[in-house]
Amino acid sequence: MSIFDIYDTANNGLKTMRQVMEISSQNVANMLTPGYKAKTAVISARSEDASFSTMLAAMGNDNAVSHLLKGDHKGSGSQVAAIEVDNSPGSKIYMPHHPLADSEGNVEMSNVDGAGEMLKMMDAVRQYKANLSIVEMAKKASQEALNMTKNA
């Protein structure tokens, strides 16, 4: 694994967490919008074939786990594989003069859980910071390597 692979993996993690934060912020912004349905990001590994069992099978049966631990199979970080929409019904509020009111005068509000979305955003921020720290460590390692060549 080269230093550029580390940057690429961390970059993919940064992009993924940014997308997760964007989706959660859309949900929070539309929390009081009647009829809005909450969205959730589905995160997966970014590689040609991301399934763990396929990676193990490709390495053969002789110590496949040790090959993974040594870094024989390079991953490329994470990605948002899909955005799922939660179609569960939201709470109903009696507003008979609202344009979206049903025959009984009820309006279906959004199904967004505000507290849950804030937790998702806090988790995404933590993961974003972790990827930034990986970039900083790789940057320091690159700088040290350059300094070693100058002193030689």
40-94 tens-digit pLDDT: 999 988 765 555 566 556 666 556 556 555 555 566 788 999 999 999 999 999 9
Q: Is residue 94 part of a domain?
A: no
Residue 60 lies in a domain: yes
Domain membership of residue 98 (yes or no) is no
In angstroms, the Cα distances linking 50 to 1, 29, 41, 44, 152 are 18, 33, 17, 8, 42
Please give the residue range of the domain that contains residue 133: 3-30+39-85+112-151
- Count of structural domains within the chain: 1
pLDDT of residue 22 exceeding 90, the answer is yes
Q: E-assigned strands of 10-149? A: 39-45, 78-85, 92-94, 106-108
Q: Is residue 104 part of a domain?
A: no
Handedness of CA 96, 100, 102, 107 (dihedral sign): negative
Give 94's DSSP letter: E
Is the residue at 25 inside a domain? yes
Q: Which residues pair with 92 in a beta bridge?
A: 108
